[in-house]
Amino acid sequence: MVDIEGFLIDLDGTVYLGDTPIDGADGFFRTLEQNETPYLLLTNNSTQTPLKIANRLKAMGIHVRPEHIYTSAMATGDFLRQEYGERRKAFVIGEEGLLESLLSIHWQLVENENEAEFVIVGLDRKLTYEKLERASLAVQQGAKFIACNTDSYLPTPYGFLPGSGAIVCAIETTTGVKPKVIGKPEPIIIEEALSRLGTPKEKTAIVGDRLETDIEAGKRAGIKTILVLTGAKKEEGEIKKYNPNYVFKDIGELWRDFLKQRKNLLF
């Protein structure tokens, strides 16, 4: 790991489980700050702003500044600005994080499907049939279909709940149109994050617990991959199939290895 100069770090299952921090997470971030090592916390979450995520982490005893947090909503805004410019019209299914990201690039949020140039979808826990109806009609009329992510479910202590992907699937099934997907495992979110991070691909690593999203995204984007064994369940055969560059028990073990590598560089 001595050649890694920057990190993209997943949140749920990697940094915390539910509302419980994983041992070593705060220490790892403190060490990255002290060593001036670039890093971003990379999440498919499109509902919350970086400030709200930072405050949630702080309540767990994990201290990260909002500027070190990068969401799929932010990546969506960055991608749309670069590809299509500012001041476009979008019909949006989503929550605060996505709305704020689009407003920051001066896009107009419209409610009439006939005005929409784009349909942009993230998780919306106040979803109505009317929203699905308008989004589907807009796509059929030629609006470009963009998805923050296609996560099929949200894990909770009570069981799985519908994720953003369930909403995307409803519109795709209705219209027959596949969306442009921004979040993991697609490489777009990695490429947008790298632009902010400022480190070269070959010297950047993604850290995550999910083989099919975190590790797959890293592979597709051409960066190094670090799997932690916390969070999502992983079979040995699956790990061999995805073949991450490094495997650690948890983020605490990664932290200790990082400290050891940096210490060796000094002597």
Average pLDDT over residues 260-265: 75
Confidence check: pLDDT of 267 > 50: no
Mean residue pLDDT across the chain: 95
| Rounded CA separation 185/10 (Å) | 12
- What is the token pair recorded at 89? 């019209």
Confidence check: pLDDT of 110 > 80: yes
For 100, other C-beta atoms within 10 Å of its C-beta total 18
- What is the token pair recorded at 208? 């995550």
Can the peptide bond before residue 244 be classed as cis, meaning omega within 30 degrees of 0?
A: no
Q: Where are the domains of the chain?
A: 6-44+200-265, 75-181
Confidence check: pLDDT of 66 > 50: yes
Q: 11 pLDDT band (50/70/90 cuts)?
A: very high
Instruction: Quote the pTM value.
Output: 0.94
Q: For domain 6-44+200-265, give the CATH superfamily.
A: HAD superfamily/HAD-like (3.40.50.1000)
pLDDT above 90 coverage of the chain, percent: 91
Q: For domain 75-181, give the CATH superfamily.
A: HAD superfamily/HAD-like (3.40.50.1000)
By C-alpha distance, which of 184, 248, 260 is closest to 22?
248
Q: Do domains 6-44+200-265 and 75-181 have the same CATH topology?
A: yes
Cα distances (Å, whole numbers) of residue 189 to 113, 149, 218: 27, 10, 10
Q: 61 pLDDT band (50/70/90 cuts)?
A: very high
pLDDT higher for 21 or 265?
21
For 93, other C-beta atoms within 10 Å of its C-beta total 25
Average pLDDT over residues 12-32: 94
Confidence check: pLDDT of 55 > 60: yes
Q: What is the pLDDT of residue 158?
A: 81
Paired strand residues for 227: 208, 247
Spatial CB neighbours of 153, under 8 Å, sequence gap ≥ 6: 160, 161, 162, 163, 165, 166
- What is the token pair recorded at 44? 């498919």
Confidence check: pLDDT of 205 > 70: yes
Q: What is the pLDDT of residue 261?
A: 85
Q: What is the pLDDT of residue 187?
A: 98
Q: 266 pLDDT band (50/70/90 cuts)?
A: low
Confidence check: pLDDT of 230 > 50: yes
**Rounded to 5°, angle at Cα 241 from 235 and 243:** 100
Q: Which amino acid is at 239?
A: I
Q: Looking at the annotation, which residues are catalytic?
A: 10, 12
Per residue in 124-141, pLDDT (tens digit) is: 999 999 999 999 999 999
Can the peptide bond before residue 38 be classed as cis, meaning omega within 30 degrees of 0?
A: no
